[in-house]
Amino acid sequence: MSYTRTSKCVLVLLSLMFAGFVIESYSQWKGVKSFAWTDRSRTDTFYGKDEYREVSVTVWYPAEPCEGKQCEYAPLISDLDKALPKLNGVSDETIEKLRTLRSKSRSGLKISKQRDKYPVLLFSPSLGGHTAFHTGLAEALADLGYVVVGVNHKFESWYIINEEGRVIPENHRFHDELKELRIPEDITADGYREKRGERLRILGEDLIFVLNKLGELNESVFGGRLELSSVGAFGHSVGGAAAMEAANLDRRIAAVINFDGTPSGQVLKEGIKQPFMMIEDKKDLTQPGNKIQFDRRQDLCEKVGGDCYRVLIPGASHNSFSEFGVLMETDFSKRKPGIDILDTTLRFVESFFDSYLLGEDADLLPSSKGIGPEVEVIVKRATR
């Protein structure tokens, strides 16, 4: 990749400056744009015959330098106050912290002219999550020359604000009702996975819809600089499984990373064709449930058509791959382990997409990144 980089090892969230909670990353100019789109070709029949699929989208990208008021950093969540009246269960303390947080991106900047084309990464958050809580990762990747497209999904994400300006909070009725089914009394294990897989496929289709919308706007909004014929997709938890579903449906998605998400349906049965990386917490395999999950994910890796990597990070938990906990913690000594996990995650994300999107000779082993041997990488090479 010829885009000038300040470092191959950008540290995510290195410093949270509590006089305004500024998220620090390196110094490339970064722009951010937000969109709200409705896919009127698809209805979400579980929630109603008139419920079209809708998404809210944030795009982080390398930018031209700012001028005047454009130089003000954008809020971490620009539409928070509009959404709050519709959101439940958010403490006053959390709201006040979120209001003070600012990103290191600036709204409305033009995309940088340093390159003719920029590689694109689609991102999907966890169930109840939000792309804002992956801003540090997105900005670090923008520093490295990627365009990161975060997609919040109607009903699955914390909230979206649709193109009509209506706040739609999370609604997990599908997932809650599915969890209430007893196996095997109410549904078989295979039936459960198929039903869940159908929902994940809808989220995967959301990502493809966004990819198509970017194609429509590429010239007018991004100066034709988005490379959309071969993109990456990644996500956290349900979002990671959605990224796999999208890859299974659309070969424009050339490489996939999943942060500790469990796929279902056809993807679980057959894998995907593209190179794949699962980044997950390193569990105690003497516990039967952990061993079952470990073996199931290894079986999935064996089915992947491209190269497959499993990165197991000790000390991580399922929620370690979101920045929310780090953002809310005020004690640096407690925050530091979370920052280290996010940094390790970034290093593997960078190397994987550099290798499989850009064709760079990127070493994906921990020793090449200054990461200790406690981080385990399991590799399955594709049959050439």
Interior CA angle at 208 toward 202 and 214, to 5°?
A: 140
On whether residue 171 sits in a domain, the answer given is yes
Please report, for the domain that includes residue 23, its CATH number.
3.40.50.1820
The residues, any chain, with a CB within 8 Å of residue 310's CB and separated by 6 or more, are 277, 278, 280, 297, 298, 301, 376, 377, 378
The maximal CA–CA distance of the chain, rounded, in angstroms, is: 64
Domain that holds residue 333: 16-380
> Residue 201, Cα to own-chain centre: how many angstroms?
16
Count up the domains in the chain and report the number: 1
Enumerate the H helices of the chain as residue ranges.
80-83, 92-100, 135-143, 173-180, 189-222, 238-249, 265-270, 288-303, 324-328, 332-356
Mind listing the pLDDT tens digit of every residue in the chain (384 residues)?
A: 333 343 344 343 434 333 333 343 444 799 999 999 999 999 999 999 999 999 999 999 999 998 887 789 999 999 999 999 999 999 999 999 999 999 999 998 999 999 999 999 999 999 999 999 999 999 999 999 999 999 999 999 999 999 999 999 999 999 999 999 999 999 999 999 999 999 999 999 999 999 999 999 999 999 999 999 999 999 999 999 999 999 999 999 999 999 999 999 999 999 999 999 999 999 999 998 999 999 999 999 999 999 999 999 999 999 999 999 999 998 989 999 999 999 999 999 999 999 999 998 867 765 555 566 689 999 999 976
Is 9 domain-assigned? no
Determine the Cα–Cα distance for residues 226 and 152; give it in Å rounded to an integer. Answer: 20
* Residue 275 in domain: yes
CA atoms within 13 A on the CB side of 299: 12
Q: What is the pTM assigned to this prediction? A: 0.92
11 within a domain of the structure (yes/no):
no
Question: Using an 8 Å Cβ cutoff, are 152 and 55 in contact?
Answer: yes
Residue 10 counted as domain residue: no
- Is 3 among the domain residues? no
In a domain, 7, yes or no: no
Whether residue 2 is contained in a domain is answered as no
